[in-house]
A and B are shown apart, each in its own frame.
Chain A
Amino acid sequence: MGLFSKIKNMFSKETEEKKEIEINQEEDTSMVEEKQEVKKKSAEEKSVKVYEKGLTKSRKGFVSNLISLTSRYSKITDAYFDELEEILIMADIGVNTIMKFMDRLRERVRKEKIEDPNLLKEIIVDELFIIYVDEEVLESKIHFNTTGPTILLLVGVNGVGKTTTIGKLAWQMKENGKKVLLVAGDTFRAGAVEQLKEWSEKIGVDFFGKEEGSDPASVVYDGIVKAKEENYDVVLIDTAGRLQNKVNLMKELEKINRVIASFIPEAPHETLLVIDATTGQNGISQAKSFQEITNITGIVLTKLDGTAKGGIVLAIKEEVNIPVKYIGLGEAKEDLQPFDIEAYIYGLFKDMM
């Protein structure tokens, strides 16, 4: 089954579910239990809805452009391709990726003798999906260590939302019954330690940090000692924002990694690169540089609740082969969702179906 038809199915299921919930809401509150049933049942569709909500703004421009494109052209012409290219570029999908994508699309149109732009819509969605998935089975879950604390390291350039993401992740893990420790590895930026501490208080998990200006590797060292001694399940380590071309700061990150590995050889179990959805082509360079220094296991794409589309993750997946694990859709502790490529593309194309 192609992605396009899958997405169509999702869409029709969702309408049914909406009706169901509406009915439930009309009934008495004694029906709470039943409602919860419905909630569980529709968990999958719910995740789609969250995407939709968060991506509403992102989607608007992109999709209305595609729709108007399709309606304005009765035939596929060069001008049509030019406009399609513009739409994709405006979504920040990597320039290289788009150029290759456009070549493939032109090839298919020629070979399959497609003339109707309406038919091309399906192909566009499918091809975008293929770029991301590339015949792999993608694992978007967090790997937990079964024999001791699971160490998660968050890295990224300045201002992408590392600390906020840690707060959200910690809250989720705490809700899942884990004993969580936050470690303030950003000792450089003014107020960063305090910011993480406030998050820990807000969501009710433990915090470990030293004063600003301390050696981050030593903070991490002591943090892991504490985690081991006091049997924490998860250790979330915040790091200072660093631009990927700053050699000395990247070396510091290497050192932090060595310190972690000296305790638990296979740790950090996850190293998540946080990328701001408004990031343009530089996202590829960020992914490449951080990947060289640390073993990035996934991306957290933040700030998708704005108008930015974060299309650069498609190029990152294609060029550096790092999958997205989570997306950030707001500033509240609940605003973090596991990434789901189908829901993501569905969110972008919803109005087209």
Chain B
Amino acid sequence: MFESLGDRLQNALHKIKGYGKITEDNISDMMREIRLALLEADVNYQVVKEFTNTVKEKALGEEVQKSIKPGDLFVKIVKDELTELLGGESSPLSMNGNPATLMLVGLQGSGKTTTIGKLANFLRKKHGKKPLLVACDVYRPAAIDQLKQLGKQLGIEVYEEGKKDPVEISKKAISYAKENGYDYVLIDTAGRLHIDEELMDELKNIEKAINPQEVLLVIDSMMGQDAINVITGFHESLSLTGVILTKLDGDTRGGVALSVRHLTNVPIKFIGTSEKLDGLDSFDPERMAGRILGMGDIVSLVEKATEVIDEEEAMSAAKKMQSGKYDLEDFLKQMKQIKKLGPLENLIKMLPGAKKMGLTNVNIDPKQIAHVEAIVLSMTPKERKNPDIIKASRKTRIAKGCGLSVQEVNQLLMQFDQMKKMMKQMSSGNFKMPF
């Protein structure tokens, strides 16, 4: 996400870093470049105008002019202004209310139903809440079915009454939640145009009837300049408490993210980053600004890792590595944990300077990981504990078991052997990290 916007901004800024003096003339090309970069990222026209004006004003202001390294200061100004556009501080979800209620609204196809599944999953996992999903999209064919299937996948209950009045359904759902000890009620609504008065009235009526803690607008991050009409349209009818940006795992430059807060003062609360049900992240403006400018996002990376990696298991694996007792059984466990971190491409992108190392275009085929897993799983526990006993006939059997060639089995065994040697070196202390 944001890569190409980041690229262009970084390129534009790179030139100016060494400048000893900043004048209106020597920054005019760069200002034009920044302006086009933002417009091509679908940042709202008005925002672009204000942004470039502010940056220019500050650049020509006294502070920069007196600075010893005006170029560096200029870069800092751009980053600060960018963070400001993204909303300054992050704003968490409301946890008040018993049960706390939350409704998701938006245009057709913005990703409301998928997002509501992710959100329920997020609340349960991160905050230990017991969420109830409520199906109020009574218009789109099979929308209720979609939510029910998501509920089934997640093991979270879905409240539905078929195609009845959404206002009634949401009221009843809340009393149902109260009776059955749910502490979070998430209401899925039908997609609608912000100019469809009849359907907007329906949303107003739901809002009036249940008085929710959060009304979240779901927006497709690929949206163009019309985004502002949609956001203000929904904001005029409802009191929006936040925005969720979806589909940020595409190659969108996500200009909406840079426009929403500035134009409407509604904060972005979450971003959708994959089609999987754990592909939802809290939105942090400063980290995001860092990512746009290629400064990496180590904080999020570490947070992600601590979230999915079991500390005890990691410790015991480390001990085994040091004592040279690390076997394929441990390897399998670790691989499963790494898989939980989500697509590796996404992780790589959070590394500072990933772009410079040429790592952002890496594509890792999840099938490769699946193949390795299949090979190890086709071994007997005895073989996993002691790979040395695997000779020709065992190899043939393993290859047959996982549907791959003997060559591929060999390759894995060799790699594992090398890995073990490396670990021994590391623990004996005479090993230098390659990076």
The distance from the CB of A100 to the nearest CB of chain B, in whole angstroms, is 13
Tell me whether A282 and B252 are in contact (CB under 8 A).
yes
Contacting residue for B250 out of A57, A91, A282, CB 8 A: A282
- Complex alpha-carbon distance, A163 and B100, angstroms: 34
The distance from the CB of A313 to the nearest CB of chain B, in whole angstroms, is 12
Tell me whether B250 and A243 are in contact (CB under 8 A).
yes
Tell me whether B363 and A247 are in contact (CB under 8 A).
yes
Say if the beta carbon of B265 comes within 8 Å of chain A: no
Say if the beta carbon of B119 comes within 8 Å of chain A: no
Contact A190:B141 (CB < 8 A) given known A247-B363, A276-B220: no
Say if the beta carbon of A199 comes within 8 Å of chain B: yes
Contacting residue for B253 out of A158, A248, A279, A282, CB 8 A: A282
Contact A195:B251 (CB < 8 A) given known A159-B220, A303-B107, A305-B193: no
Contact A89:B39 (CB < 8 A) given known A190-B149, A278-B227, A306-B107: yes
> Among residues 137 to 151 in chain B, which have CB atoms less than 8 Å away from a CB atom of chain A?
139-143, 145-150
Say if the beta carbon of A244 comes within 8 Å of chain B: yes
Tell me whether A307 and B109 are in contact (CB under 8 A).
no
Tell me whether A157 and B224 are in contact (CB under 8 A).
no
Contacting residue for A92 out of B146, B153, B224, B275, CB 8 A: B224
- Complex alpha-carbon distance, A247 and B250, angstroms: 11
> Among residues 150 to 209 in chain A, which have CB atoms less than 8 Å away from a CB atom of chain B?
157-161, 188-192, 194-195, 197-199, 202
Say if the beta carbon of B7 comes within 8 Å of chain A: no
- The stretch from B40-48, B310-318, B322-330 touching chain A is B40-48
- Complex alpha-carbon distance, A197 and B141, angstroms: 9
- Complex alpha-carbon distance, A249 and B92, angstroms: 33
Closest to B48 in A: A89
Say if the beta carbon of A269 comes within 8 Å of chain B: no
Tell me whether B226 and A157 are in contact (CB under 8 A).
no
Say if the beta carbon of A266 comes within 8 Å of chain B: no
Tell me whether A307 and B195 are in contact (CB under 8 A).
yes
Say if the beta carbon of B269 comes within 8 Å of chain A: no
- Complex alpha-carbon distance, A57 and B107, angstroms: 15
**Residues from chain A with Cβ under 8 Å of B149 in the complex:** 190-191, 212
- Complex alpha-carbon distance, A3 and B230, angstroms: 32
> Among residues 74 to 132 in chain A, which have CB atoms less than 8 Å away from a CB atom of chain B?
86, 89-92, 95-96, 99
Tell me whether B366 and A190 are in contact (CB under 8 A).
no
Contact A280:B250 (CB < 8 A) given known A191-B142, A306-B193: no
Say if the beta carbon of B223 comes within 8 Å of chain A: yes
Say if the beta carbon of A308 comes within 8 Å of chain B: yes
Could you tell me the dominant secondary structure of chain A's interface residues?
A: loop
Closest to B254 in A: A282
The distance from the CB of B367 to the nearest CB of chain A, in whole angstroms, is 8
Tell me whether B109 and A159 are in contact (CB under 8 A).
yes
Tell me whether B250 and A95 are in contact (CB under 8 A).
no
The distance from the CB of A242 to the nearest CB of chain B, in whole angstroms, is 9
**Residues from chain B with Cβ under 8 Å of A90 in the complex:** 45, 225
Tell me whether A281 and B40 are in contact (CB under 8 A).
yes
Tell me whether B111 and A244 are in contact (CB under 8 A).
no
The distance from the CB of A278 to the nearest CB of chain B, in whole angstroms, is 5
Tell me whether B250 and A306 are in contact (CB under 8 A).
no
> Among residues 67 to 114 in chain B, which have CB atoms less than 8 Å away from a CB atom of chain A?
107-111, 113-114
Tell me whether B146 and A202 are in contact (CB under 8 A).
no
Tell me whether A306 and B222 are in contact (CB under 8 A).
no
Say if the beta carbon of B36 comes within 8 Å of chain A: yes
**Residues from chain B with Cβ under 8 Å of A59 in the complex:** none
Contact A307:B250 (CB < 8 A) given known A190-B149, A278-B224, A280-B224: no
**Interface readout for B207-233 with A: 1 if CB under 8 Å, 0 if not?**
000000000000010111111011001
Say if the beta carbon of B384 comes within 8 Å of chain A: no
Contact A243:B247 (CB < 8 A) given known A158-B111, A281-B42: yes
- Complex alpha-carbon distance, A282 and B222, angstroms: 6
- Complex alpha-carbon distance, A61 and B39, angstroms: 19
Closest to B141 in A: A198
The distance from the CB of A281 to the nearest CB of chain B, in whole angstroms, is 5
Contact A86:B45 (CB < 8 A) given known A248-B365, A279-B224, A280-B222: yes
Closest to A61 in B: B229
Say if the beta carbon of A295 comes within 8 Å of chain B: no
What residues make up the interface of B, taking CB atoms closer than 8 Å to A? 36, 39-42, 45, 107-111, 113-114, 139-143, 145-150, 153, 193-195, 220, 222-227, 229-230, 233, 247, 249-253, 255, 275, 363, 365-367
What residues make up the interface of A, taking CB atoms closer than 8 Å to B? 57, 61, 86, 89-92, 95-96, 99, 157-161, 188-192, 194-195, 197-199, 202, 212, 243-248, 276-283, 285, 303, 305-309, 312, 331
Q: What 5 new A-B contacts, CB under 8 Å, besides A278-B224, A282-B253?
A: A159-B109, A280-B223, A281-B39, A306-B107, A307-B233
24 A–B contacts, CB within 8 A, in A order: A61-B229, A89-B225, A92-B224, A95-B39, A96-B40, A157-B247, A189-B114, A190-B113, A190-B145, A191-B145, A191-B149, A195-B146, A202-B141, A244-B251, A278-B223, A283-B222, A306-B193, A306-B194, A306-B226, A307-B193, A307-B194, A308-B226, A308-B229, A331-B108
